[in-house]
A = this chain, B = another copy of it.
Amino acid sequence: MNNAYQNLVALNKEISLLGSAASALNWDQETYLPKKALAHRADQLSFLSGKIHAMTTGAEFQNKLQAAEQEKPNNLTEAANLREWRHGFDRSNKLPQELVERCSQTTSLAKAAWAEARENNNFSLFAPHLEKLVAVAKEKAELWGYEDEPYDALLGGYERGAKTKDIAEIFDTFSPHIIETARLAVHKSNANPARKLEGPFPIEAQKTLNQEIAESIGFDFEGGRIDTTAHPFCTTLGPQDIRLTTRYYEHDFTASLFGVMHEAGHGLYEQGLPSDDFGLPSGDAVSLGIHESQSLLWEAHVGRSPSFWNKWFPRAQELFPQMQDWSVDEFLQTINQAKYSLIRVDADEATYDLHILLRFDLERKIINNQIAIADIPTAWNESFQSMFGIQPPSDTQGCLQDIHWAMGGLGYFPTYTLGNLNASQLFHKATQDNNIKNAFDQANYNPLLNWMQENIHTHGSTYLPQDLMLNATGETTNPAYHLAHLKRRFLD
């Protein structure tokens, strides 16, 4: 029994009680909070986050961590937790309080300016704020430190252990192929127009279908639930308390359904983490690129597949009688159309990664001083033209569309494409097993889920993301599987 280690565990369990209380308050804020209660809720959350920050960066944490580091870890899990605690503690403590506060203030002003710039289609309203955001990001990168380039330090905040040059190498391999695949997919979809859904699809019926499907893929409603919010998300309030949200459109039941499958994918990962390690790195998800692989696996690989709809389409027809004269093939064609879109969040599977490649390239240049802030709109539009063959008619539909930069989230975007690549690679590897493949073809997803639980979920943050991929699939992230998947789905 390593006593110093156990003391550190106990402190982290306490921190996680406050952290998960804050998650509960955040969830309530998005779902049920009365309008006038917002100011008090903000006070509560700011108080809790102050307490949590103090506990994770203070002398008690430092002393307990140092003491635990003197002991020899009993196993891989203990060693990994110590590694992650040290990493997190150092990263937090490298930033002086003054910078943390300046960063928070800069972000707060930038978000408002971004919203205004977007509304008025006027990049220059946002430019001075972006200038400051980039300066702050570089300052943080210098303090955090990096091996090759400052973007490493930013990226690492979202994708633990990732290095810019590795991502760039993967993306460079991927880029020409995905651009070509997307072009062919869009061409094919344009040549074969799909039938259009005809609403209304009653919201109660949508809820029924979503619930049945989420349950059938393994989401445990005794340890989670689905509510309605303006922006869908998945959040964890405790080891057996995973809450998904979605939004409903009466004219299209597939929007809420794929939303639920996506969030349920995140939820299955969270439900599959080791409950006893809740609040420790070994009980926590390892990175955004792995998290997103789980959501995309269930949304895209399962939810948009023929075998899935062979099973579920009759149920959809029962709930939505206007679908009764549709064939499954017609429906599959409708949900798997490829077309170029200006807006990332509206993009389909075939074209989504183009949006990310563009942003990664631009972000990296911004951080490396290879492009001036004022030149971003032009650079954006040129890249967009060359990748999509169309010109954004406005910055609102171009470089102002995402909130990420305004929130200081430089380095976040690449994790979306990492998620896509990882999803296809994990799916490929899992379905090499004939039992999993046969069950999948009969819309039985237990074996697939079990594989993900054993190879991904149960490890928490014990392995770094690329080690996890290596252990699970025999290689680190390789874009070949995602390309093959897209070609099969869109070009065959």
Q: Does A225 contact B (CB under 8 A)?
A: yes
**Among B14, B34, B36, B238, contact of A47 (Cβ-Cβ < 8 Å):** B14
Q: Please measure, in the bound complex, the distance between the C-alpha atom of A25 and the C-alpha atom of B44, giving whole angstroms.
A: 13
A223 pairs with B40, CB closer than 8 A:
no
Q: Does A33 contact B (CB under 8 A)?
A: yes
Given A14-B47, A28-B28, A47-B14, CB of A240 within 8 Å of CB of B21: no
B residues in contact with A278, CB < 8 Å: 40
B32 pairs with A238, CB closer than 8 A:
no
Given A239-B40, A240-B40, A278-B40, CB of A21 within 8 Å of CB of B34: no
Q: Does A230 contact B (CB under 8 A)?
A: no
Given A36-B222, A40-B278, A278-B40, CB of A21 within 8 Å of CB of B21: yes
A44 pairs with B21, CB closer than 8 A:
yes
Q: Please measure, in the bound complex, the distance between the C-alpha atom of A14 and the C-alpha atom of B40, giving whole angstroms.
A: 12
Question: How far does the Cβ of A94 sit from chain B's closest Cβ, in whole Å?
Answer: 28
B residues in contact with A20, CB < 8 Å: 40, 44
A17 pairs with B36, CB closer than 8 A:
no
Given A25-B21, A28-B28, CB of A225 within 8 Å of CB of B34: yes
Q: Does A35 contact B (CB under 8 A)?
A: yes
B residues in contact with A43, CB < 8 Å: 17
CB under 8 Å from chain B, chain A span 8-56: 14, 17-18, 20-21, 24-25, 28, 32-37, 39-41, 43-44, 47-48
A240 pairs with B34, CB closer than 8 A:
yes
Stoichiometry (number of copies): 2
Q: Please measure, in the bound complex, the distance between the C-alpha atom of A20 and the C-alpha atom of B25, giving whole angstroms.
A: 10
Question: How far does the Cβ of A251 sit from chain B's closest Cβ, in whole Å?
Answer: 23
**Among B28, B220, B238, contact of A24 (Cβ-Cβ < 8 Å):** B28
B24 pairs with A237, CB closer than 8 A:
no
Q: Does A221 contact B (CB under 8 A)?
A: yes
B residues in contact with A238, CB < 8 Å: 37, 40-41, 44
Q: Does A241 contact B (CB under 8 A)?
A: yes
CB under 8 Å from chain B, chain A span 322-352: none
Give A227's nearest chain B residue, CB to CB. B32
Q: Please measure, in the bound complex, the distance between the C-alpha atom of A35 and the C-alpha atom of B240, giving whole angstroms.
A: 9
B residues in contact with A21, CB < 8 Å: 21, 25, 44, 48
Q: Does A224 contact B (CB under 8 A)?
A: yes
Given A40-B278, A48-B21, CB of A34 within 8 Å of CB of B221: yes
Question: How far does the Cβ of A269 sit from chain B's closest Cβ, in whole Å?
Answer: 17
Q: Please measure, in the bound complex, the distance between the C-alpha atom of A356 and the C-alpha atom of B17, giving whole angstroms.
A: 41
B40 pairs with A220, CB closer than 8 A:
no
A36 pairs with B223, CB closer than 8 A:
yes
Q: Please measure, in the bound complex, the distance between the C-alpha atom of A17 and the C-alpha atom of B40, giving whole angstroms.
A: 8
Given A25-B21, A40-B278, CB of A241 within 8 Å of CB of B47: no
B residues in contact with A240, CB < 8 Å: 34, 36-37, 39-40
Q: List 19 A-B contacts (CB under 8 A).
A: A14-B47, A17-B43, A17-B44, A17-B47, A21-B44, A21-B48, A24-B28, A24-B44, A32-B227, A34-B225, A36-B222, A36-B240, A36-B241, A37-B223, A37-B240, A40-B238, A40-B239, A41-B238, A44-B238
| Chain A contact residues, CB within 8 Å of chain B | 14, 17-18, 20-21, 24-25, 28, 32-37, 39-41, 43-44, 47-48, 220-225, 227, 237-241, 278
10 tightest CB-CB pairs across the interface, nearest first? Answer: A40-B238, A37-B241, A36-B240, A36-B223, A17-B47, A35-B222, A36-B222, A37-B240, A17-B44, A37-B238
